Copies of this chain bind each other. A is one copy, B any other.
Amino acid sequence: MIEPKLPKGFRDSLPNQEIKRKFFEQKLENTFESYGFVPIDTPILEYTEVLLGKGGGETDKQIFHFTDNGGREVALRFDLTVPLARFVSAHRSEIELPFKRYHIAKVFRGEKPQKGRYREFVQCDFDIVGVDNAQSDAEILSMMISSMQVLDVGGFRIHVSNRALLNDFLSTLGIQHKSSDVLRAIDKLAKIGIDNVKAELAESGVSENQADLILSFINPVSEDYIEVLNHLVSLIGKETEGAVRMRQIWNILKNEGVQDFLLFDPSITRGLDYYTGVVYETLLDSNPQIGSVCSGGRYNNLTGLYSKENLPGVGSCVGIDRLIAAQEEIDSTIYPSVDVVIFACSDVSPEDAASYGRSLRKLGIRCDAFLGERKIRDQYDYAQSKGAGFAILSLWGDKADLKNLATREITTSIGADEAARLIRK
C-alpha cells in the first residue's frame, strides 16, 4: 500500500472549495469579457531559457526546472506575464493590437511553503498590450473596480501611484540613478517600518536629508486624489508627463462615477523592476491585513526579450485565493451544488428515478439521484452535504412526492413541471 500523500506546498481542492473557486472565476471571466477581453492559454511547461531569459536572481532559485527525456532544460511557469510576452512575440501576426487578454491558470514556485502560501497556485491576470495611454491605464482600473464589485467582498480602495512621479522627484534631488534601490526600499515600508527603510536607503548611498525628503514625498497629505497630486507636483516643481497622466486617469474614472474607489497613495511602488508608470494595490476595508488582493501597473518593455518590436503594456492580477478567504469571513455559506436529491428507497425504482431526473434537468433543475443502498437518514445527510433544498421520497412513473427540506412540507403526487416550479421558488 502506498500512502496517498502530496508533496509539501501542494494541496487538493475539495468540492466545496472548488465550487467556490469556479464561481469566482466565472464572475471574473464574465467581467473581463464584458470589457472585450479574450482568454488565451499557454503551456505549463516551457524551455527554462525562454522563461528565465538570461536568468539568475531570485526567480531562478524558485523555479521548478528539470531536464526532459530529450535532454532539454524545461521548467514550470512561475507567472503569467513572461508567457504573455513570449505569446505576443510568437503570435504577433495573428493578433490585433491593442491586445486585451485575460489568463486564469496555475503557476508554480519552489519557495518555502508557509501559511497561505503554496507552491502551486492559480493566477488571474488581465493586460492590455500595445498602447501607452491614460485610457488603457484607466480601463484596467475600471475593470478592477467592476471585478471587486461583482465578487461581493465588501468595501475596498485601490491605492494608486505612478513610478514616473517618484522618478521625477529623484531627478530634482539629483539621484535618479538610484531609482531602483529607492523603489525597492520604499516598497517594504509597511513590512519593515520607517527606520529600516532609512537604513536601506543609507546603504544605497542616499543621504539622510534626501531620505527624509523621499519619505515626506511618499506620505499622502490628503484623502483627496487631486490634492495629493497637486502636492506632488509642487514638490517636483513642475507638471510632468506622469502628473498629466494621473490627471487624465482621474478624469476618465470620475466620468464613469467610480472615482471614490481610488486613493492616491505615493508610497505604492510595487517590488518588481519592470513597472514604469502607474502602479496600484487593492486593500479590503474589512481585511486590510491580508494585503493587496489585486495589484499591477504599467510596464513599457514587455516583449523586448523576444522580439525587436518593444510593446508597452498595462495590467493587473487578482489574488483569487485571498479574495475567497476574505469572502468566507463575510459569508461562510456552502454553495449548493444541487437543487433536489431523488432518494433511493423501496418507493423509487431506478427506472423512474432516471426518467424523472431527466425531465427535471431539461427544466434547468440540478437533480441528483442517490445511487446506493443506505438508510434514509444517511440520504438526508448526503442531501444536506450537497446543499439540496428538496428531496423526492417516492415516485410512481411521472408523479413524485417532493419534500422541502427547510420547511419539511411534502407536496404529493406532482409531475416534473410542478416540482420544478416549487424548487425554483
Minimum Cβ distance to chain B for residue A72 (Å): 7
A74 touches B (CB below 8 Å): yes
Report the bound CA distance from A14 to B130 in whole Å: 17
Q: Which residues of B contact A6 (CB under 8 A)?
A: 43, 46-47, 50, 90
A59 touches B (CB below 8 Å): no
A128 B371 Cβ-Cβ under 8 A: yes
Q: Which residues of B contact A128 (CB under 8 A)?
A: 371
A43 B139 Cβ-Cβ under 8 A: no
B354 A256 Cβ-Cβ under 8 A: yes
A382 B305 Cβ-Cβ under 8 A: no
Q: Which residues of B contact A42 (CB under 8 A)?
A: 12-13
A407 touches B (CB below 8 Å): no
B94 A255 Cβ-Cβ under 8 A: no
Q: Which residues of B contact A240 (CB under 8 A)?
A: none
Known: A15-B101, A45-B108, A369-B139. A38 touches B248 (CB 8 A): no
A24 touches B (CB below 8 Å): no
A243 touches B (CB below 8 Å): no
A351 touches B (CB below 8 Å): yes
CB-contact partner of A13 in B40, B66, B364, under 8 A: B40
A358 touches B (CB below 8 Å): yes
A233 touches B (CB below 8 Å): no
A38 B12 Cβ-Cβ under 8 A: no
Report the bound CA distance from A313 to B146 in whole Å: 43
Minimum Cβ distance to chain B for residue A66 (Å): 3
Minimum Cβ distance to chain B for residue A372 (Å): 5
A252 touches B (CB below 8 Å): yes
Q: Which residues of B contact A15 (CB under 8 A)?
A: 38-40, 95, 101
B44 A120 Cβ-Cβ under 8 A: yes
Digitize A344-386: 1 where CB-to-B-CB distance is under 8 Å, 0 elsewhere: 1000001111110110010011111111100000000110011
Q: Which residues of B contact A10 (CB under 8 A)?
A: 43, 45-46
Residues of A within 8 A of B (CB): 1-8, 10-15, 18-19, 21-22, 29, 33-36, 38-47, 49-50, 53, 64, 66-70, 72, 74, 76, 85-87, 89-91, 94-98, 100-101, 106, 108, 110, 120, 128, 130-131, 133-136, 138-139, 142, 146, 248, 251-258, 305-308, 337-338, 341, 344, 350-355, 357-358, 361, 364-372, 381-382, 385-386
Nearest 9 pairs of A and B residues by beta carbon: A36-B368, A66-B66, A15-B38, A255-B351, A13-B41, A10-B43, A4-B306, A135-B350, A4-B90
Q: Knowing that A97-B372, A139-B354 touch, tell me 14 more A-B residue pairs with CB under 8 angstroms.
A: A2-B50, A4-B306, A4-B307, A6-B90, A7-B72, A14-B40, A15-B39, A34-B367, A38-B386, A64-B68, A69-B110, A100-B368, A134-B350, A256-B358
